[in-house]
Amino acid sequence: MGHISLTDGLLLFVVDNSYPGSTSLNEFLRQKGISPGTKVMCIEGGCGVCVVSATIMDPVISKPRTYTVNSCCVPLLQCDGWDITTIEGLGNTRDGINPIQQRLADYNGTQCGFCSPGQVMSMYSLLKTNPQPTMEEVEQIMDDVVCRCTGYRSILDAMKSFSADAGPDLPGGLIDIEDLERKICKKTGNPCTGKCSSDQPQTMLHMVTAGSQWLKPTNKQELCTLLNQHKADNYRLLHGNTGFGVYKDIGDWNYSVLIDIRGVVDFNIIHVSFTDFMYK
């Protein structure tokens, strides 16, 4: 019962209920042969080799936003409507490589190459949201990926060369955001804008797998209804779920009902009144 859909900018993948709630995005990408360049290692969001870029509809502003995500810590069923960009989606030596890939190579920052996809994807997500980052912001985003070869100097130099405050010793300069997009939409033949998946109506998702149910309410009323319906079941609420890779405990062996609350708008807003800070 039910299905989810996600896209890599070129292809739309429909995932049926044959995948249990414990399946990670990383497992799906690698086992289906979609992205062998997206590696797997620590399975706890610590090393960064599994990093991909995800464009997700922000429930507060109702506009898509791009994030760097550790695919080993993201449950597959949580990705409904996401636009996932992997290293293969940026470029290759046959069809042409992405400017970030080129810059890393020009600075001899590829080293053994095992961690390079994660580094490129982290920088891609940053430039998608902030085309003119500072060198400090670049250094912070590159903190997500561990380099096994200890070649951080050349890697950081390559990425910092995209910074607005980079000096003449870091040639390359800023880049137009349009130059980052090499993907071609199969529907229009034009460069992909990443908007195909963002027009989906927000309706409650209900997946029934072999051993559990996956539910995604869109508001507090739907959530309260679900909590009342399943109060006697072993249920768990999911949102950031950063411990997913380490503990792997959201499978049907522990929970019969998994409720994804990421789509509840009220849980993504903090209301602050100035009277809260006034002396009474």
pLDDT digits (tens, 9 = 90+) for 170-212: 999 998 877 776 554 544 445 555 555 444 556 888 989 888 9
Domain identity same for 75 and 94:
yes
Q: Say if CB 5 and CB 12 are below 8 A apart.
A: yes
pLDDT value of position 198: 45
Tell whether the model's pLDDT for residue 18 goes beyond 70. yes
pLDDT value of position 22: 87
- Per-residue pLDDT band for 1 (boundaries 50, 70, 90) equals very low
Residue-wise DSSP of 102-134: HHHHHTT--TTSSSHHHHHHHHHHHHHH-SS--
Most confident of 3-7, 67-71, 261-265: 67-71
Q: Tell me how many degrees the CA angle 74-217-201 measures, rounded to the nearest 5.
A: 90
Asked if residue 273 is part of any domain, the answer here is no
- How much is the mean pLDDT over the chain? 84
Asked if residue 66 is part of any domain, the answer here is yes
Asked if residue 192 is part of any domain, the answer here is yes
Domain final residue, candidates 176, 196, 216: 196
3-state secondary structure of 257: strand
Domain identity same for 143 and 211:
no
Whether this prediction's pTM lies above 0.75 is answered by: yes
Asked if residue 279 is part of any domain, the answer here is no
Domain identity same for 44 and 87:
yes
Asked if residue 280 is part of any domain, the answer here is no
DSSP state of 49: T
Domain identity same for 119 and 230:
no
**Mean pLDDT on 68-80:** 91
Q: Say if CB 81 and CB 52 are below 8 A apart.
A: no
Domain identity same for 32 and 129:
yes
Domain identity same for 185 and 210:
no
Q: What is the CATH number of the domain that holds 239?
A: 3.30.43.10
Question: Residue type for 36, please?
Answer: P
Asked if residue 9 is part of any domain, the answer here is yes
Domain final residue, candidates 138, 168, 196: 196
Domain identity same for 180 and 208:
no
* Token pair belonging to 15: 């995932």
Q: What is the CATH number of the domain that holds 103?
A: 1.10.150.120
Tell whether the model's pLDDT for residue 278 goes beyond 70. no
Domain count, the chain: 2
- Per-residue pLDDT band for 12 (boundaries 50, 70, 90) equals confident
Domain final residue, candidates 196, 231, 252: 196
- Measure the CA–CA gap between 134 and 131, rounded to whole angstroms: 10
Domain hosting 232: range is: 202-268
**Mean pLDDT on 225-235:** 96
Domain identity same for 138 and 20:
yes
Asked if residue 36 is part of any domain, the answer here is yes
Domain identity same for 152 and 222:
no
Q: Say if CB 143 and CB 111 are below 8 A apart.
A: no
pLDDT value of position 159: 96
Q: Which helix (H) or strand (E) holds 155?
A: helix 152-160
- Per-residue pLDDT band for 137 (boundaries 50, 70, 90) equals very high
Domain identity same for 222 and 192:
no
Tens-digit pLDDT profile for residues 86-127: 998 888 888 888 999 999 999 999 889 999 999 999 999 999
Domain identity same for 181 and 262:
no
pLDDT value of position 170: 96
Classify residue 58 as exposed, middle or buried by CB count within 10 Å of its CB (0-12, 13-18, 19+): middle
